[in-house]
Structure 1
Amino acid sequence: MIKNIIFDFGDIFINLDKQVVFKALKNTNVQEFLPKYHSINEDFEVGNISSMEFVALLRPDFPDLTKEEIINVWNSMLLDFPDHRLRFLEGLAKEKKYRLFLLSNTNAFHIPHVRQIMGAENYGRFKNSFEQFYLSHEIKLRKPNDEIFQFVLEQNNLSPEDTLFIDDTKENTDAAKKLGIKTWNLLVGKEDVVQLKERL
């Protein structure tokens, strides 16, 4: 029986355009998203490099972009947070039937931008709906590595078989499933997190 639910953030609650960064960089004459950009981004998402170090590593490839423009490109993937999802989450939290957790791969740019998109009050409502709010750049771990799931399970004394993990990235749900965690690989555009109770 499910007692605990771990939610991803992007494309589960807040809508994303994951291709917008690639499109924006192509407009600067960079024709492909090089492996080194993935590596730099992963280091940023686990807090191995600071915001300014992240920008400094990208600047040589994008000399025409200011620091602010690089930050704006990285934040441009963050779209809207539909209010019906926030109301759903708050309702779920008020029921107190499940322990709720957030587990997100994110970076130091994104969260302040999310607060700006949502407004401080709504962001507070969102964050306060969870027992724990885990952001990769703060805990220095990222999905799909086993360590991040083990961390959440151990920190909160959760049994994998009693835990459901919801994420839109199959690589992440596959990793959780190998540890015995129940999963829902949510299909963006076809499914919505508010349909959760139909799956429990």
Structure 2
Amino acid sequence: MEKIKNIIFDYGNVIFAIDFRIAQKTLTQIGISNIEDFFGHKGHNTLFDELETGSITPAQFREGIRLETKNPALTDAEIDAAWNSLLIGITPETLDVLAEAKKHYRTFLLSNTNQIHFDYFTDYLQKEFQVDGNDHLFEKTYYSHEMLLRKPNVEIFERVIRENNLNPAETLFIDDSPQHLVGAKEAGLQTLLMTKHPKDLGTFLKSKGLLV
């Protein structure tokens, strides 16, 4: 691996623990009958991609859920609670690791997310750690619903590279999804697949020689 000067981190299951199985269960409980097709490992309904790229609003997403469940009485709060059940949390140790990494590298966050999840984890970080979001942990944060692009589209990586004058050969992208690494490699970035639980991010980075 060429000398790394910059690190771009994914968020879900690299920094912030998430659990798709819990979301599958809660979405089923509010009336999604075909969960493996609707929100499964092999694919998902276009509602999720559209929400993550800002193509639809949270209100339109919720209406899509009501149509899918054939339950117009579902409240916004019920839908948001089911969707946000995906989000588990982050440890203080992980925040410390990111602060340490920022001392040695230019660090960035690049996440496929959406306004509903963004609002949830922003509120969570304030309540749990009294911090205003993730901005203090990185030089810059990038979220798909604000960029109107999502990984693994090569354009999302090229935009981060261009806006921050990064040398791709000296920049590492870390993600837990192999398919997202494909787009990063197309953009010329070095890549690592996250194979640990987010609470072990420090151990993972040390095992790769990125922190001591």
1:136-151 correspondence runs (5 A): 136-151=144-159
- For 2:49, the equivalent position in structure 1 comes to 42
Do the aligned residues in 2 keep the contact of 1:12 with 1:192 (CA within 8 Å)? no
What is the CA deviation profile of residues 59-117 of structure 1, one whole-angstrom value per residue up to 9, with x for unaligned ones?
Answer: 12220532211111111100121110001111222x2x211100000000111211232
Corresponding residue number in structure 2 for 1:129: 137
**Corresponding residue to 1:20 among 12, 19, 22:** 22
1:31 is the counterpart of 2:40 = no
- Cα separation, 1, equivalents of 2:164 and 2:55: 25
Indicate the percent of aligned positions where both proteins have the same amino acid.
35
The Cα of 1:21 is off from its aligned counterpart by 2.0
Superposed CA RMSD in Å reads 2.1
Q: Aligned-pair distance for 1:191? A: 8.4
Q: Post-superposition shift, 1:15? A: 0.7
Gaps of 5+ in 1: none
Unaligned stretches of 5+ in structure 2?
Answer: none
**Normalised by the size of structure 1, how large is the TM-score?**
0.90
User: Over residues 134-170 of structure 1, what are the superposed CA-to-partner deviations in whole Å (9 max), with x where a residue is unaligned?
Assistant: 0000111100111101111111111111000010001
Q: How many residues align?
A: 198
For residues 162-199 of structure 1, what are the alpha-carbon distances to aligned partners after superposition, in whole Å with 9 as ceiling and x for unaligned? 00001000101122123321111011449832131331
Which one of 58, 69, 76 corresponds to residue 65 of structure 2? 58
Inter-partner Cα distance in structure 2 for 1:90 and 1:125 = 14
Whether the 8 Å contact between 2:10 and 2:109 is mirrored in structure 1 is: yes
